[in-house]
Homo-oligomer: A and B are copies of this chain.
Amino acid sequence: MLPVCDVQSRKIDTSFRLTKVGVSGVRKLIYVARPNNEIPTEPLVCTIDVSVDLPADQKGSHMSRNLEVIREIISENIINPVTGIEDLAVQISKLLLEKHEYATIANVNIEAEYFKNSVTPHGKKTTEIYTLIGGACDQRGQTIHKTVGVRCIGMAACPCAQENITQTLGCSKKWPVITHNQRNICSVMITMDENVSIEADDLIDLINESFSSPTFELLKRDDEAAVVIDAHNNPKFVEDIVRVVLKKITDRYSDVPDDVRITVRSESEESIHKHNAFAEKTTTMAELRR
């Protein structure tokens, strides 16, 4: 056993306090409880970033403690699956502050790929992939803030080109009019007190209802037609998608506190351009309710 030579703990002439010191890109398999699913616990491959602050007079942060904390929480998790990755983030943030006794704040961010059952317009079962985002910010002696987020891929059909083409060609409105449509990536991030609860599954549903149409892994002919027709009957700018999501959040979460913070972003990989179009709103529940 090596005699301890703790370079990190060494006192230095006061330098600058650092905001975040930690590790990024740690990959782990975690288990999430899905009480209502056929398979009651779902394994998720996660990418984890954790950090704590560092006092001005201490040379370094103890990097290996971050991995010990992650390992400890995750080995616990195999036995007791959490209901959301944000709960895991909270647990990790608490233990980070415990193990880094010199730190005053701990930040955790987890991203995971998540498979969720879905149903096509004509009733076929599919499994769709989404990204879950869970976060925690634990400041010593204060309420822990956690973040629940999701990122979904859907379809956006442009309302502007549709109207202009209707006019240019004098199209009958009997049938949906052509327009460019494309992949749209929409994300919602909600930051709140530890005790407030928002389900990532609900956010996914809410975003899927805000696209021109959700998308599906498997579409036989009649379903493919239905998705395309739906999308053209619900043309949406990226601006529209963000606003519909915000409206649905306001309606759905009427009971969450005013200080809950929300970021919604929608980005279209434009089929008529080589660049993307995007819209974004950073706000609070208080502002949304005004």
- CA A93 – CA B52 in complex, angstroms? 36
Q: Is the CB of A175 within 8 A of B169?
A: yes
B-contact 0/1 string along A227-243, CB 8 Å cutoff: 11101100001111011
B-contact 0/1 string along A26-39, CB 8 Å cutoff: 11110000000001
Segment touching B, from A81-89, A160-168, A191-199: A160-168
B-chain residues with CB within 8 Å of residue A129 when the two chains form the complex? 27, 274
B-chain residues with CB within 8 Å of residue A19 when the two chains form the complex? 280-283
Contact of A225 among B25, B164, B221, B281 (CB under 8 A): B164
Q: Is the CB of B20 within 8 A of A278?
A: yes
Q: Is the CB of A180 within 8 A of B59?
A: no
> A183 an interface residue at 8 Å Cβ cutoff?
yes
By secondary structure, the A interface counts as mixed
Distance to closest chain B CB from A113 (angstroms): 6
| Interface residues contributed by chain A, number (CB under 8 Å) | 106
- CA A29 – CA B24 in complex, angstroms? 24
Distance to closest chain B CB from A125 (angstroms): 9
Contact of A228 among B178, B183, B283 (CB under 8 A): B178
Contact of A161 among B160, B172, B215, B225 (CB under 8 A): B225
Q: Is the CB of A16 within 8 A of B219?
A: no
Q: Is the CB of A18 within 8 A of B243?
A: yes
Given known contacts A160-B221, A178-B176, A280 and B20 CB-to-CB distance under 8 angstroms: yes
B-chain residues with CB within 8 Å of residue A60 when the two chains form the complex? 160, 237, 239-240
Q: Is the CB of A215 within 8 A of B155?
A: no
Q: Is the CB of A15 within 8 A of B247?
A: yes
- CA A63 – CA B128 in complex, angstroms? 17
Interface residues in A106-158 (C-beta closer than 8 Å to B)? 113, 115, 126-129, 153, 155
B-chain residues with CB within 8 Å of residue A220 when the two chains form the complex? 64
> A80 an interface residue at 8 Å Cβ cutoff?
no
Distance to closest chain B CB from A135 (angstroms): 16
- CA A51 – CA B267 in complex, angstroms? 12
- CA A199 – CA B172 in complex, angstroms? 45
Q: Is the CB of B269 within 8 A of A183?
A: yes
> A188 an interface residue at 8 Å Cβ cutoff?
no
> A187 an interface residue at 8 Å Cβ cutoff?
no
B-chain residues with CB within 8 Å of residue A2 when the two chains form the complex? 164, 167-168, 221-222, 225
> A210 an interface residue at 8 Å Cβ cutoff?
no
Q: Is the CB of A155 within 8 A of B239?
A: no
A–B pairs, 22, beta carbons within 8 Å: A5-B221, A7-B164, A19-B280, A24-B267, A27-B275, A28-B115, A29-B43, A29-B127, A61-B239, A71-B217, A71-B218, A155-B272, A161-B225, A168-B222, A175-B177, A180-B181, A180-B228, A182-B271, A217-B274, A217-B275, A227-B272, A271-B271
